Structure 1
Amino acid sequence: MAKFTTWDGLELNYTVWEGEGVPVVLQHGVVADTNANWMSVGVVAALQRAGHHVISLDARGHGRSEKPHDAARYSWRAMADDVRALYDHLGLDRVAQVGYSMGGIVSLLVATADKRVERLVVGGIGCGVVDCGGIDWRVIESGDIVTAMTADPAEIVPNARMFRILADALGVDREAIAMVATGLNEAPIESLSDITVPALVLAGDADPFAAEPERLAAALPDARCVVVPGDHLAAVADPGFSAALVEFLK
């Protein structure tokens, strides 16, 4: 693990596993972190076995990164700029960018703006990107996640309950996550046509947040879709998720 100071002065944590070839940069989902989203479910291990050089960033407000209790410090663009700042910090000129859920939206923004991205993998998102410009707010609203972090569990809507369960299991700073959700209440994706690099869309067959992932893949100029068993939390742990990721990055 290491830390660097990003573009607006926050200190962010990242982890590097040495390997060969184009670095694979991982960005996790909301509430989660490097360990919960990538290490504990076997994704990092699968990439290591394939010989990849792997880098994972703890997003602002998450993991071992700084967690300001100020919604103004959180936005989709800020998180995308953090990923690009990490590229700069490490002197990366070629990357394969991988993101899940929140990290999937962030990765789409990075790939739109940064020519260093040569391959793109997004998981845990689907047609909401096409229809809503980002997270599928027809399934969950940012306010639902705020409530999940701050209210009595009995007041949490079903689709947000998993985020409270995950937050309590990981012992996260729930106030910081509430500020993250407050800041991420916009629809940042205006167009996908500029993402011309080869892309892979990965989704669980029971994930309400990644409905119709084939429509997202079809909206990207050069993408394909793989569906694995599982809901939003379980899909990334399915062996088929890591296998599809590794196969795509060959």
Structure 2
Amino acid sequence: MNLDAPPFQHFQNEGLDLAYFDDGNPAGEPVLLIHGFASSASVNWVYPGWLRTLADHGYRVIGIDNRGHGASAKPHDAEFYHPTAMAGDAAALLTLLGIGEAHVMGYSMGARISAFLAIEHPHRVRSLVFGGLGIGMCDGVGDWDPIADALLAPNLEVVTHERGRMFRAFADQTRSDRMALAACIATSRDLVRREDIARVAVPTLIGVGTRDDIAGDPHELADLMPNASALDIPNRDHMLAVGDRVFKKAVLDFLKAQQA
């Protein structure tokens, strides 16, 4: 399986330069992939094999580098990172590509952005996959101030907070702009209101690792939605669930069911 990143292109939205790839079968049903915090389209979707898996099953696969991440612009002002703004970037990309509606899959922060996309631009979303985020989407995912502190620390060695160390190491691994990520973490965690997610009626799959201590219960979120199901990804934590084979098979089965 070829796991090399495809060529990226760029577009402008709200004065920001944003990067994306458009790969797979150009005539296939489009799947828009929205990555998580401190990641990128390549790290979240190409290297774990999602791009090739979806492309091999005939889909047109679009991945966006969210603002502050990957090859996209990286403002250091927290006001740029509300999820409603990043959902607007995703909608603008679909418009640019002439795509009326797409299957939308987001992981962690990307799941939150996908939820805002479905709430604020419902005609653009044919189905949803939320990975790595359950009821935490509505209730919060704990205190992330130590993560911001870890991102701004002079080096990893001085970081003692366990979750802070995990995200700082990930940010260092992905060679991220840590100032941009610290700004992003301040505002990208806007909560989704329960009454809003309850109005999202498109078919939805919610997958969370059974060892994920960040996401919150996927079943509780699914129970709020009229057409959602939850998937427990066995023995996977927040970082490892994204590329899991059980998750991939469930997503492929879910997408195939939308064609029936």
TM range (shorter): over 0.9
Question: How many angstroms apart in 2 are the aligned matches of 1:126 and 1:160?
Answer: 21
Counterpart in the other structure of 1:233 = 239
Query: Within 5 Å, which residues of 2 pair with 1:18-167?
Result: 18-19=24-25, 20-114=27-121, 115-130=123-138, 132=139, 135-137=140-142, 140-141=143-144, 143-151=145-153, 152-153=155-156, 154-167=158-171
Q: 1:170 to 1:105 in 2, by over 3 A?
A: same
Q: CA deviation at 1:32?
A: 0.2
Which residue among 9, 18, 22 is the counterpart of 2:15? Answer: 9
TM-score (norm: length of structure 1)? 0.92
Q: 1:79 to 1:189 in 2, by over 3 A?
A: farther
For residues 61-102 of structure 1, give each alpha carbon's deviation from its aligned partner in whole angstroms, at most 9, with x where no partner exists. 000001112222221111111111111111111200110000
Query: Within 5 Å, which residues of 2 pair with 1:141-220?
Result: 141=144, 143-151=145-153, 152-153=155-156, 154-190=158-194, 191-220=196-225
Contact 1:144 1:157 in 2 (8 A): yes
- Tell me the secondary structure at the aligned position of residue 210 of structure 1: coil
Q: 1:116 to 1:107 in 2, by over 3 A?
A: same
Q: CA deviation at 1:227?
A: 1.4
Q: CA deviation at 1:156?
A: 4.3
Question: How many angstroms apart in 1 are the aligned matches of 2:182 and 2:124?
Answer: 32
- Tell me the secondary structure at the aligned position of residue 214 of structure 2: helix
Q: CA deviation at 1:185?
A: 4.8
Contact 2:151 2:179 in 1 (8 A): yes
- Tell me the secondary structure at the aligned position of residue 86 of structure 1: helix
Q: CA deviation at 1:204?
A: 0.7
Question: How many angstroms apart in 2 are the aligned matches of 1:186 and 1:208?
Answer: 19
Q: CA deviation at 1:176?
A: 0.9
Question: How many angstroms apart in 1 are the aligned matches of 2:56 and 2:85?
Answer: 32
| RMSD between superposed Cα atoms in Å | 1.4
- Tell me the secondary structure at the aligned position of residue 31 of structure 1: coil
Question: How many angstroms apart in 2 are the aligned matches of 1:82 and 1:69?
Answer: 17
Query: Unpaired segments of 5 or more residues in structure 1?
Result: none
Q: Number of residues paired by the alignment?
A: 243
